[in-house]
Amino acid sequence: MVGKLAGKVALVTGSSRGIGLSIAKKFDDAGAKVILHSRNGIDQNIIQTFKQQPIILKFDINSSQSIEKAILTLYNDVEFPGIDILVNNAGITRDRLAINMSSDDFSTVIDTNLNGTFNVTQPIFKKMIKSRKGTIINMSSIVGLSGNIGQVNYAASKAGLIGMTKALAREGALRNICVNAIAPGMFDSDMTKDLSDKIKDAILSTIPLKRFGKVDEIADVALFLASSQYITGQTIVIDGGQSI
């Protein structure tokens, strides 16, 4: 059986672990040739779990020069067919109440999550425009829709990604390029594992499905969007009903 993404090339930023790795493996299972990305490289044990040998890219999403060099190196290979799917997953948090948040706390998160996403997207979007095809998926958050205490910087960056998604979708539609966002809620992760039972219970009380999500469920949504050619400019919320 041919996979949904057979013959496609997919770059997933921040794919050394967590959500990014789960999406990359889901795409690999669906037949895509995956490009893994990390600022510091990918563990060899992770690479060996893929069905197809992944391409490994190392660059800092805060450095346009670093990104351009990495992307141009790929496209200068005459056998490289081009990137069909881009998933912008890389990002950071620096949580603090607004009254305690330094300007560096704020600007660093904006620079990485919002500016960094644009830095990666622009050179690849240019290539997609020329080839008249492509799919871009931006990883936002329900925090970008509803806000959250202690995350003014993160909420601003993720809300910005939703605006960027809609604008890029309008530009990309002229060349058959679909651009969408995913807005996850609370998921099982290293962060949630460290929470006390009291805090977990408080959060779960706000989620109608009464559980945290699993990263593989985000990967399912990413695969759905990567397989679609008639959904664009949308933000898919996956939060167990928390934002109802």
Are the C-beta atoms of 182 and 235 separated by less than 8 Å?
Answer: yes
Q: Which residue has the tokens 């622009």?
A: 122
Neighbours of 19 (CB within 10 A): 23
Tens digit of each residue's pLDDT (9 = 90 or more) over 42-83: 999 999 999 999 999 999 999 999 999 999 999 999 899 999
Are the C-beta atoms of 153 and 109 separated by less than 8 Å?
Answer: yes
Tens digit of each residue's pLDDT (9 = 90 or more) over 136-187: 999 999 999 999 999 999 999 999 999 999 999 999 999 999 999 999 999 9
| CA dist., res. 103 & res. 143, Å (int) | 20
Sorted by where each begins, the domain ranges of the chain are 9-237
Q: Band of the pLDDT at 117, cuts 50, 70, 90?
A: very high
DSSP at 1:
-
Q: What is the pLDDT of residue 111?
A: 97
Query: What is the spatial order of strands in the sheet that 134-139 belongs to?
Result: 55-58, 33-38, 9-12, 85-88, 134-139, 177-184, 235-238
What average pLDDT does this structure show over 12-31?
Answer: 97
What average pLDDT does this structure show over 117-124?
Answer: 98
The pLDDT of residue 189 is above 90: no
Neighbours of 237 (CB within 10 A): 21
Write down the mean pLDDT value for the chain. 95
The pLDDT of residue 123 is above 60: yes
Residues annotated as catalytic are 154
Are the C-beta atoms of 209 and 241 separated by less than 8 Å?
Answer: yes
The pLDDT of residue 2 is above 80: no
pTM listed for this prediction: 0.96
Angle formed by the axes of helices 64-75 and 116-131, to 10°? 30
Q: What angle do CA 160, 74, 42 make, to 5 degrees?
A: 70
What average pLDDT does this structure show over 189-208?
Answer: 85
Q: What is the pLDDT of residue 41?
A: 87
Q: What is the pLDDT of residue 199?
A: 86
Are the C-beta atoms of 31 and 7 separated by less than 8 Å?
Answer: yes
What average pLDDT does this structure show over 30-41?
Answer: 95
The pLDDT of residue 25 is above 60: yes
- Domain 9-237 is found in CATH 3.40.50.720: yes
Are the C-beta atoms of 221 and 234 separated by less than 8 Å?
Answer: no
Are the C-beta atoms of 76 and 22 separated by less than 8 Å?
Answer: no
The pLDDT of residue 194 is above 90: no
Q: What is the pLDDT of residue 165?
A: 98
The pLDDT of residue 1 is above 60: no
Q: Band of the pLDDT at 191, cuts 50, 70, 90?
A: low
| CA dist., res. 66 & res. 125, Å (int) | 17
Q: Band of the pLDDT at 196, cuts 50, 70, 90?
A: confident
